[in-house]
Structure 1
C-alpha cells in the first residue's frame, strides 16, 4: 500500500513524501517490464501453465493494460502429465480474461515419433522442442516467463531480457548488461528474447502479493488430503501417469504443492496451510526453494536446469 506523509519545514512549503513498500516496487518494476516489451516487440506471448508464478505475471499484465485486454496470447506447453485441476484452472482463467490460448502438445510429438518417452517416465524435459516450434510457428519475438532468480542457480544467471539465438538456445556467457533498468531487446530475424518480469521476486514475495491482490490459484497449492507414495524423499500423487512401485506403499496424507509442474516429477509437501495467509507463514519459515524441495527433474544432475535452458527450455 502507498503511504503518504506531509511534513512541514520551517520557512518552506509543506512537502508530500511518498513511500512505497516492497510489493509496490516489485509490482511497478514488473508492469514496467511488460509495457516495455509490448512497446518494443511485435508478437509477444506469455508462457502460462496455471502455476502461481505465471498467474502473477498474467495478473501484472492485466493491470498494465487495464481497462483494455491483455494485448498478447498465452502459450502452454502441455506435457499430457499435468494435474487435471491445473488444466481446468488454465481454461477458466483465459476464458474469464478473454485471452487467446495457444497449446503445444508433447503428446502429439510422442504420437508421431518426433519425441520418445523417457525411461524415467517424466515428460518435463521433453517440453523444449514443442516450445521452440510453437515460438517459430507464432513468430513470437518475445516470450514472457514467470522464472525467478531465487528458484535455481541457473535462473539466477538469467537477465530480465535474455537473448535466444536462431536455434532458441541460451548462452550464459553472453549476457547483456542491464544497468539502471535499461533493457536491450535488440535481436536479428530468427532470434527472440525471454522476458522475466518477476525475476527479482522471491517465493515469499509472490505469496504476499497473491494475498494482497486476492489472486485465485489452483486448489493444489493449499492443504488437502490426497493418496500419495514416497519416492526420492518426496510425496508423489497417485495418478494415471504416477504409479507407485510394489515397494512404495500408498498413504493418505494432508499435503499441498509448492509448484505444479509435470505430475510425474513434482512432489508435494506435508502441510496444514489451507489458505493463503497460512501459506505465507509457512513459506516465511522455509529454507529450501520450491524447486529444490519438490522437483525431481532438477535432481537429474548438478546442472540439470542450466543444461535444459541452454537447449531452449524456459
Structure 2
C-alpha cells in the first residue's frame, strides 16, 4: 500500500472526528474528576451526549449519573422518553424540580408563564448539595453567540457563576480541570458540533428520538411569531386562536417558550435536508427565552445557567 493510500485509509470523516473528540472528553473527565454528572433532558443534544458516553465506556456501564432540571412544563413525550432511556441503561437520574421550589416559596411564577429562567436556582443548588464537580452539558457553539464564547471545560465559581475572563486556553486538546473547593467545571463535549452534525450523526448511529422532532399534527397557537403548544402553563390567552397544524420541533425545552416550526419532515433524511437549507439557528427560530433581551443567554450563564 502506498503512503497516499495508507493516509486515505486512516483519514477520519468529520463525524468520526467529532465522535472521537467527544469520547476523549468523557474519558478525560472520568480520569480527572470525582463526581461528574450528565445533564439529560431527553432533547436531541443530550441524547447524542449520552450516546457518546455509552460508547466511551462500553462494555462497562456509564460511570456517571444523570441530572434533569424539570420545569413542570416539559413535553410529555420527552419525559416519557427520558424515563424509558434511564430504565433501559440502568442509569441513576437526579431530578431538580422547579415546581418544588415554587411550592416551597423559594421561586415565584413569572407573569409570562415561562419557567426556563427559573431553572438556575434548582440546578445550582442540586450541584452544590450533591457535590458534583463536573457537569456535562449539550451546549454547542453554533447555537447562540454567548455559547460561542464557551470553552469545552468552563470553570464555575462557588456560586455556579460564569466569568468569561476566567476562561482557560485549550491548545492541542489539553483541558484544565483544576478547580478550588466549592467550584465546579461545566463540560461541553458537543462544543464543536453544528445542528446539522447532530442530525447526521443521529442518522448514522440510528439513534431513537422523541417523535416531536418529526412532523406531526398538533394543536398550537401563535405568540410573538412562534407556534406554541396549548397547555395549563398560561396559554393560549383569550385573543389567541388555537389551530391544528403540521409542525415539528427543532429544539426541546419548556412548552411555554419553545416554538414549533411548520414542517413536512417525517424522516431523518427529510429533517437533514430541511436543516441544511435553513438560515436560522434553532434557538433563534424557536426559543422565546432568548428573545427577552439581546444578552438574555449570557445573563443567564453568568447566573449559573448553561
**TM-score normalised to structure 2 length:** 0.98
- The alpha carbon displacement at 1:281 in A equals 0.6
Alignment map for 1:20-169 (pairs within 5 Å): 20-169=12-161
Worse-matched range after superposition: 242-251 or 39-48:
242-251
1:60-118 CA-to-partner distances (Å, cap 9, x unmatched) read 00000000111010000000000001000000001001110000000000001000111
Alignment map for 1:142-291 (pairs within 5 Å): 142-291=134-283
Check 1:235–1:40 CA distance in 2 against 1; reply closer, same or farther (3 A cut): same
- The alpha carbon displacement at 1:242 in A equals 4.7
Q: Alignment partner of 2:55: what SS?
A: helix
Indicate if the aligned counterparts of 1:242 and 1:263 stay in contact, CA closer than 8 A.
Answer: no
Q: Could you list the runs of 5+ residues in structure 2 that have no partner in the other structure?
A: none
Higher strand share: 1
Once residues 292 and 70 of structure 1 are traced to their aligned partners in structure 2, the CA distance between those partners, rounded to angstroms, is 33
1:4-25 CA-to-partner distances (Å, cap 9, x unmatched) read xx4378xxxx856411110000
Question: Which residue, out of 2, 6, 27, partners 1:7?
Answer: 2
Check 1:15–1:27 CA distance in 2 against 1; reply closer, same or farther (3 A cut): closer
Q: Alignment partner of 2:164: what SS?
A: coil
Q: Alignment partner of 1:173: what SS?
A: helix
Could you tell me which residue of structure 2 aligns to residue 3 of structure 1? none
Q: Could you list the runs of 5+ residues in structure 1 that have no partner in the other structure?
A: 1-5
Indicate if the aligned counterparts of 1:104 and 1:134 stay in contact, CA closer than 8 A.
Answer: yes
Q: Alignment partner of 1:131: what SS?
A: helix
Q: For the aligned residues, what is the CA RMSD?
A: 1.2
Once residues 112 and 242 of structure 1 are traced to their aligned partners in structure 2, the CA distance between those partners, rounded to angstroms, is 21
- The alpha carbon displacement at 1:249 in A equals 1.2
Q: Alignment partner of 1:274: what SS?
A: coil
Q: Which runs of 4+ in 1 moved over 3 A?
A: 14-17
Check 1:146–1:67 CA distance in 2 against 1; reply closer, same or farther (3 A cut): same
**TM-score normalised to structure 1 length:** 0.95
Once residues 248 and 15 of structure 2 are traced to their aligned partners in structure 1, the CA distance between those partners, rounded to angstroms, is 25
Which entry has the higher C-alpha Rg, 1 or 2?
Answer: 1
**Paired residues, number:** 305
Once residues 18 and 174 of structure 1 are traced to their aligned partners in structure 2, the CA distance between those partners, rounded to angstroms, is 37
Indicate if the aligned counterparts of 2:66 and 2:94 stay in contact, CA closer than 8 A.
Answer: yes
